[in-house]
Amino acid sequence: MTGTPTIAVDVVVSGRVQGVSFRAYAEAEARRLRVTGWIRNEPDGSVAGHFEGPQPDVDALVAWCHQGSPYATVRRVASSPAPVAGHHRFEVRY
């Protein structure tokens, strides 16, 4: 990652994304891509996340969100640029 600018995006994934291991699979994919940040369930049934890393890796994680975990049914993925917070790892938040 040295020499490559870090970007950040906030993501909201809607559909059948809670109770289907979406966060656990997203965490595994983020770690594979070396993307930092977090992901959590929201009260409205969506999943929200903050992803940081080189643009190609962050873009790949956002693209993964369109498919999600094997049992997820993703209806919508909304992403927007966000300030870089300097996360050092990726975590599931509760």
What's the gap between Cα 34 and its chain centre?
Answer: 12
Active-site residues, by number, are 23, 41
